[in-house]
């Protein structure tokens, strides 16, 4: 059977690898299994989501537009202006913003827009797509399926878990089509400051590539609200040239199943994105857009959700804070815990303590120069549960690690 051979490069999916690692292991029967490997919010979304969907149920038989609705675009734009203190004229809802069925699909499809086809390769050189290492598997998959070379840039503790994209050198940057940056990061939960973001935007404009700022965790923070890429663009004069920004309701509003987000960019790119999505993308249903608009208009529920995660990380610090390797991230809902050998710890925790985590190595790739995987020492722990289950899981992990 004929097929695109690039698909073979997608089979390093982290959770498939986890299933294989734990195959044949049975946790103790007297312990409740605690699944702390998956970053799926466990809090319920606000009740007005269901009410809004119900009041718009007559719209399920309507084909929605890829551009969404005036109401959704306005609510999302107003949230951006409110959250990031933007000039009101900087983001025009009808020109700069496009709804997405969650951001995963849009992030993947962006590479189809940004990466030139072979007929457009300059000097016959394969385009590059850069991302941090560890990374979100969708970034690498998007690069591979678009025909680009994925280049993973180390994001280690020595650099506050932030990749140094300039370090790849001028030759690579000159053929770079796209950089993906998750800020706050997954899995480490670190936050890039205004200076870092400004230098990255300047680098993109100097070498004429697009930066995709994935800001899905920007509302899940401990103390200080993370700086957004749009804030930096505003300080640089307001242009969105070479910049795209993705936002989602999955984490902010504990509404992962709603599948709703949006992308912001300059008008020409948004027009092209709308055409691509009209041709081969899932568009957001009208009742979902109505519920999403209501969520973007309301900040109180997001504050409550953030307070829940803050309490969980305070709990983690109390239980694990005296262990070597503990790091309390400023944002996100993952613990990136140094346990010396992530695969061994993952197996032991499941077999002996009924706690499922995931090795950090499954989100990272070996360095081509040293052969070292920057995630091999770590496990990723999702702190997304209600307090009792989270505490039980953390206490079991503490027992495993010892004093």
CATH number for 333: 3.90.1150.10
Is 342 a domain residue? yes
Q: pLDDT by residue (tens digit) across 12-50?
A: 789 999 999 999 999 999 999 999 999 999 999 999 999
Domain extent at residue 200: 48-298
> CA separation (Å) from 30 to 37, 139, 150, 363?
20, 40, 45, 31
Q: What is the pLDDT of residue 11?
A: 72
Q: What is the pLDDT of residue 356?
A: 98
Among 275, 298, 321, residue at a domain's last position: 298
Stretches where the chain sits below pLDDT 50 are none
| Same domain, yes or no: 164 and 17 | no
| Same domain, yes or no: 320 and 336 | yes
**SS3 (DSSP) at 341:** coil
List the Cα angle 314/320/322 in 5-degree steps: 110
Is 363 a domain residue? yes
| Same domain, yes or no: 209 and 254 | yes
Is 4 a domain residue? no
| Same domain, yes or no: 132 and 117 | yes
| Same domain, yes or no: 162 and 281 | yes
**SS3 (DSSP) at 357:** coil
Please say whether the beta carbons of 14 and 362 come within 8 A: yes
Give the CATH number for residue 259.
3.40.640.10
**SS3 (DSSP) at 104:** helix
Which residues neighbour 126 within 8 Å (Cβ) at sequence distance 6 or greater? 147, 148, 149, 175
How many Å apart are CA 173 and CA 177, to the nearest integer? 8
Among residues 297, 216, 225, 306, the alpha carbon closest in space to that of 261 is found at 216
Please say whether the beta carbons of 133 and 155 come within 8 A: yes
> CA separation (Å) from 35 to 127, 200, 301, 345, 349?
39, 36, 25, 15, 11
Q: What is the pLDDT of residue 118?
A: 86
| Same domain, yes or no: 280 and 339 | no
Q: What is the pLDDT of residue 403?
A: 65
Please say whether the beta carbons of 184 and 220 come within 8 A: yes
DSSP-assigned letter for residue 182:
E
Q: What is the pLDDT of residue 2?
A: 73
> What's the number of domains the chain is made of?
2
| Same domain, yes or no: 53 and 189 | yes
Among residues 265, 252, 326, 332, the alpha carbon closest in space to that of 295 is found at 252
Q: What is the pLDDT of residue 90?
A: 97
How many Å apart are CA 40 and CA 50, to the nearest integer? 19
| Same domain, yes or no: 294 and 346 | no
Is 278 a domain residue? yes
Is 289 a domain residue? yes
**SS3 (DSSP) at 356:** strand
Cα-Cα-Cα-Cα torsion 382, 160, 136, 297, nearest 10 degrees, comes to: 70
Among residues 235, 290, 289, 229, the alpha carbon closest in space to that of 265 is found at 229
Q: Which pTM does this prediction carry?
A: 0.96
Q: pLDDT by residue (tens digit) across 111-144?
A: 999 999 888 887 789 999 999 999 999 999 999 9
| Same domain, yes or no: 268 and 315 | no
Angle at which helix 137-145 crosses helix 104-114, to 10 degrees, equals 30
Which 3-state string (H, E, C) describes 71-101?
A: HHHHHHHHHHHHHHCCCCCCCCCCCCEEEEC
| Same domain, yes or no: 20 and 32 | yes
Q: What is the pLDDT of residue 12?
A: 77
Please say whether the beta carbons of 240 and 266 come within 8 A: yes
Please say whether the beta carbons of 360 and 342 come within 8 A: yes
| Same domain, yes or no: 98 and 212 | yes
Among 282, 298, 314, residue at a domain's last position: 298
| Same domain, yes or no: 334 and 196 | no
Among residues 209, 172, 187, 190, the alpha carbon closest in space to that of 137 is found at 187
Among 276, 298, 320, residue at a domain's last position: 298
List the Cα angle 91/93/97 in 5-degree steps: 80
């Amino acid at each position: 059977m004929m097929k695109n051979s690039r698909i073979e490069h997608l089979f390093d999916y982290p959770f498939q690898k986890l299933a294989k690692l734990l195959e044949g292991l049975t946790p103790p029967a007297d312990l409740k299994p605690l699944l702390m490997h998956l970053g799926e919010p466990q809090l319920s979304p606000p009740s007005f989501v269901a009410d809004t969907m119900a009041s718009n149920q007559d719209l399920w038989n309507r084909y929605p537009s890829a551009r969404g609705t005036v109401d959704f675009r306005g609510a999302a734009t107003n949230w951006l202006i409110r959250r990031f203190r933007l000039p009101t004229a900087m983001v025009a809802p009808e020109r700069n913003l496009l709804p997405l069925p969650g951001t995963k699909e849009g992030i993947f499809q962006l590479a189809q827009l940004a990466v030139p086809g072979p007929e457009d390769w300059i000097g016959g050189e394969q385009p590059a797509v850069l991302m941090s290492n560890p990374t979100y598997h969708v970034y690498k998959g998007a690069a591979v399926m678009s025909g680009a070379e994925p280049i993973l840039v180390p994001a280690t503790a020595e650099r506050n878990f932030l990749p140094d994209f300039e370090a790849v050198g001028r030759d690579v940057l000159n053929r770079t089509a796209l950089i993906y940056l998750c800020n706050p990061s997954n899995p480490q939960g670190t936050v890039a400051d205004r200076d870092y973001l400004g230098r990255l935007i300047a680098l993109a404009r100097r070498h004429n590539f697009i930066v995709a700022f994935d800001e899905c965790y920007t509302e899940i923070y401990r103390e200080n609200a993370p700086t957004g890429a749009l804030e930096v663009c505003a300080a640089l004069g307001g242009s969105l040239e070479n910049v795209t920004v993705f936002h989602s309701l999955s984490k902010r509003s504990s509404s992962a199943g709603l599948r709703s987000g949006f992308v912001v960019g300059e008008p020409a790119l948004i027009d092209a994105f709308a055409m691509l999505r009209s041709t081969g993308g899932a568009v957001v249903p009208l009742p979902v857009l109505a519920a999403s608009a209501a969520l973007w208009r309301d900040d109180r529920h997001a504050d409550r959700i953030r307070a829940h995660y803050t309490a969980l990380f305070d709990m983690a610090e109390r239980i694990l804070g005296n262990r070597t390797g503990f790091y309390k991230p400023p944002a996100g809902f993952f613990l990136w815990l140094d346990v010396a050998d992530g695969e061994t710890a993952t197996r032991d925790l499941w077999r002996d303590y009924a706690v499922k985590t995931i090795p950090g190595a499954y989100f990272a790739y070996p360095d081509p120069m040293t052969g070292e995987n920057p995630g091999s020492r770590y496990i990723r722990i999702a702190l997304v549960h209600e307090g009792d289950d989270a505490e039980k899981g953390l206490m079991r992990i503490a027992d495993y690690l010892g004093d």
